[in-house]
Amino acid sequence: MPPGNPLHTPLCDLLGARAPILQTGMGWVATPELTAAASNAGAFGFLAAATLPPERVGEAIEQTKRLTSHPFGVNFLMDAPGAERITDALIEHRVWAAGYNRAPRADLIRRLKEAGVRCVPTCGAPRHAEKAEQLGADAVIVQGGEGGGHTGNIPTYLLVSQCADRVRIPVVAAGGFRDGRGLVAALALGAAGIAMGTRFLLTRESPVPEATARRYLEAEVNDVIVTRQIDGLPQRVIVNELVRKLEETGPGGRLLLAARSALGFRRASGASLRELLRSALALRRSERLTRAQTLMAANAPMLARRAMNEGDPVRGYLPAGSVAGVLEDRPSCAELVRRILQEAEETLKALQLEG
């Protein structure tokens, strides 16, 4: 996208991408293959490190590099076990950008920036975007209530315009985007681009098993709801058998599931009991959670793995943006980015003609 084109925004220059489109770092989904495909298509891909053992992050980065010569980022949780080791890996392997969200750590952000890594956190409120800028963010993804997984209450169109007015760094709109018309709308609201999770989850390079993808494609708009029953925090998901069961299960049953999930997460992540406890306390402070909510926090990654990795959309949960209810196909990343840009250009031309 040549400079001077309205679709070539400051975000493109910051991230070295042809299109102002980000593929988000979805746990169990944003693999080296999907990340590389998104970047090869002209977007900017984020590799998910939050669901990898910290000692394997460097290997995943190198695998992604073998699949693309274009810039990409790595997304991780700064309050999770192994955050320091993941930071080391990003610096050692010269990753272009770091993504992070809850409980940002000033010390890690400072180390990343000193090494030339661009910092692109995700926020759900204007005050969080302002804080992210103060801590050194180079751009900020602002996710409205239409976004999948953990989400807030502010609609995307309100959140984006508020944040664009309050910060000087590029704002990336997330929550409810799937096409070129949405990209143009985001630019009109003051954003420098869009970030998409669910739309990239349903691409051909996505590792999501066919049985799980089918549940996404079959979902109607009214099937995508917000629930607190998975881990105590509001999450936008597709209603399935698991969600219905959790809605009917008492607190004791949900805490028993959380205990099992915590043991599973400990095995999957390689974290020690001390690291898990420290992470849980940091999460409790940053999110102001109750003891029960803190215990339930292990549910989300392990229940997501069942659906996204093991192909069980009945016993696993299905994080989804509201756009899941209108998606009907699994294009390649190249096809998806190409048609978004084409539709955005056509939309801009139509607006000029009508004006």
Which domains, and CATH codes, for the chain?
Answer: 10-206+330-354 (3.20.20.70), 210-322 (no CATH)
Please report the beta strands in the chain, taking only residues with DSSP state E, as ranges in sequence order: 21-23, 44-48, 73-75, 97-99, 118-119, 122-123, 140-143, 149-150, 171-174, 193-196, 224-227, 235-238
Token pair of 138, please?
């180079």
Instruction: Determine the pLDDT at residue 297.
Output: 63
Q: Does the pLDDT at position 249 exceed 80?
A: no
* Mean pLDDT confidence for 211-234: 93
The DSSP code for 293 is H
pLDDT at 31 > cutoff 50 = yes
Q: Which of 34, 350, 307 is nearest to 196 (CA)?
A: 34
Q: What was the pLDDT predicted at 217? A: 98
| pLDDT tens string 57-103 | 999 999 999 999 999 999 999 988 899 999 999 999 999 999 998 78
Provide the CB-side half-sphere exposure for 296 (13 A, CA): 20
pLDDT at 273: 46
Dist CA 303 CA 296 (whole Å): 11
Q: Average pLDDT in the 197-203 region?
A: 98
Would the pTM count as exceeding 0.75? yes
d(CA 186, CA 166): 16
Dump pLDDT digits (tens) for 134-168: 999 999 999 999 999 999 999 999 999 999 999 99
Q: What is the pLDDT of residues 278-328, one digit of tens each?
A: 555 555 455 555 555 555 565 677 788 889 999 999 989 899 999 999 999
Number of C-beta neighbours around residue 91 at 10 A: 16
- Beta-carbon contacts of residue 244 (< 8 Å; ≥ 6 apart): none
pLDDT digits (tens, 9 = 90+) for 327-336: 999 999 999 9
Q: What integer pLDDT is reported at residue 264 of this predicted model?
A: 52
